[in-house]
């Protein structure tokens, strides 16, 4: 038997279990062995070709690296490092106090307070009535003393006519004269008490406190009101001795109020001594606008000295990380470089850069807090130059 016949016989034996009886299936003719073998061979060949074609495609897909995701550029604004002239400043804190405070008290005693016309916060003018005591008893006493003074004056005048007659001694004449003078003095004292029953403002100013109680009986010298003269307030900054030698009268002062507002002023005078306990000296500064200031405030302030050059950037450009200050410098390739800087003075929204940048350098103004070193950025319009 030839090799071909042997191969066909072996293939037929392998598939014969699936074909059933070699004599054929009922209703069908007996299949030709060679036709069946050729069909099976063709099917196997197509399967091998399909596997060989699909395998390289799947392997290529498995072995191909994933495409790197594209990082979108962050949208930011930029600014240039500016060269400006800033004043050197000395900062400290101090109390806001009245320039001068007048104490207004009762100048009569034993009278009932009948009327109170001023309250805390009122602005008053010199001579304005702030309170009034009931002076009816004093007025009655005034009438009695006026009559007594008139009678004493008349007695003195009659005694004077008898002086040259020798019928009256010099001692009696002096007694009449003295009685007339005493009666006039008593009348004048009562008149003054009636005037003092009206409590008046000694100067223009602002009522800062009041203890006047309607119906209370006065005692001489009792405090009724406190008045800030002219409504003027001053800042009393406390400075160390080495700072005082750099400060002079006339230098500008800037205060930062709790509300966030600022108030300007000028130094009026410097205390001639330093406190022995705190080792601090007081600087007195007149304030330009006291509308938002209250006496008793303890506020931070600064004294402006000579102006010096400074490199500045907006405060929004600074990023604090790990206790250090950074900015992001713009490169020509659209990427940013994280730059360590040291800062100095602050004025408004700007910050002085002591090292790390040069005048004209371009840095990120807004959006710096979301960046990392080497990030792509897109600078939008509205950039601050």
pTM of the predicted protein model: 0.59
Q: What are the pLDDT digits (tens) for 282-319?
A: 999 999 988 889 999 999 999 988 888 999 999 989 99
Instruction: Calculate the alpha carbon distances from 72 to 75, 223, 369 in Å.
Output: 9, 75, 17
Instruction: Calculate the alpha carbon distances from 29 to 13, 26, 35 in Å.
Output: 19, 8, 13
* CATH dotted code for 74-88+309-379: 2.40.420.20
* CATH dotted code for 101-228: 2.40.50.100
The residue extents of the domains of the chain are 3-63, 74-88+309-379, 90-98+232-306, 101-228
Domain 90-98+232-306: homologous superfamily in CATH: Efflux pump adaptor protein, beta barrel domain (2.40.30.170)
Sequence-ordered alpha helix ranges (H) in 201-340: 241-244
- Are 377 and 371 in contact by the 8 Å Cβ rule? The answer is yes
Q: What are the pLDDT digits (tens) for 118-135?
A: 999 999 999 999 999 999
Packed helices 33-63 and 3-19: angle between N→C axes, nearest 10 degrees: 80
Kindly state the tokens that stand for 307: 């102006």
Sequence-ordered alpha helix ranges (H) in the chain: 3-19, 33-63, 136-161, 170-196, 241-244
CA 372 from chain centre, in angstroms, equals 31
pLDDT in tens, the chain (385 residues): 444 444 445 444 444 444 444 444 444 444 445 555 555 555 445 444 444 444 444 444 444 444 444 456 788 888 999 999 988 889 999 999 999 999 999 999 999 999 999 999 999 999 999 999 999 999 999 999 999 999 999 998 888 888 777 777 888 889 999 999 999 999 999 999 999 999 999 999 999 999 999 999 999 889 999 999 999 999 999 999 999 999 999 999 999 998 889 999 999 999 999 999 999 999 999 999 888 899 999 999 999 888 889 999 999 899 999 889 999 999 888 889 999 999 988 888 899 999 999 999 999 988 888 899 989 988 886 544 4
């Amino acid at each position: 038997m030839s090799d071909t016949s042997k191969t066909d016989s072996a293939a037929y034996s392998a598939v014969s279990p699936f074909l059933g009886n070699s004599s054929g299936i009922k209703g069908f003719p007996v299949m030709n062995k060679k036709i069946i073998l050729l069909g099976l061979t063709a099917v196997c060949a197509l399967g091998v070709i399909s596997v060989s074609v699909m395998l390289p495609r799947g392997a290529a897909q498995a072995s191909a690296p994933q495409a790197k995701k594209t990082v979108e550029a962050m949208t930011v604004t930029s600014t240039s490092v500016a060269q400006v002239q800033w004043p050197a400043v000395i900062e400290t804190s101090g109390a806001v106090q009245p320039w001068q405070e007048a104490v207004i008290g009762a100048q009569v005693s034993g009278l009932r307070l009948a009327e109170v016309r001023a309250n805390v916060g009122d602005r008053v003018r010199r001579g304005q009535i702030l309170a009034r005591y009931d002076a009816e008893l004093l007025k009655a006493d005034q009438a009695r003393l006026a009559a007594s003074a008139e009678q004493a004056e008349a007695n003195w005048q009659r005694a004077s006519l008898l002086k040259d007659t020798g019928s009256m001694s010099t001692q009696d004449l002096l007694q009449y004269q003295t009685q007339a003078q005493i009666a006039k003095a008593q009348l004048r004292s009562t008149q003054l008490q009636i005037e003092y029953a009206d409590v008046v403002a000694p100067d223009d100013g602002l009522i800062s406190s009041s203890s006047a109680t309607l119906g209370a009986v006065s005692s001489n010298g009792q405090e009724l009101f406190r008045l800030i003269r002219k409504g003027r307030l001053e800042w009393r900054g406390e400075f160390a001795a080495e700072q005082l030698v750099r400060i002079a009268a006339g230098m500008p002062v800037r205060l930062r109020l709790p509300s966030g507002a600022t108030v300007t002023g000028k130094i009026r005078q410097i205390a001639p001594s330093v406190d022995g306990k705190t080792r601090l000296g007081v600087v007195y500064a007149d304030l330009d606008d006291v509308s938002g200031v209250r006496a008793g405030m303890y506020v931070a302030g600064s004294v402006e000295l000579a102006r010096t050059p400074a490199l500045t950037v907006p405060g929004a450009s600074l990023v604090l990380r790990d206790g250090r200050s950074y900015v992001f410098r713009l490169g020509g390739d659209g990427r940013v470089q994280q730059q360590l800087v040291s800062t100095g003075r602050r004025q408004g929204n700007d910050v002085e850069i002591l090292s790390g940048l040069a005048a004209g350098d371009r840095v990120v103004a807004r959006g710096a807090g979301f960046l990392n070193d080497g990030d792509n950025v897109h600078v939008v319009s509205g950039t601050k130059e």
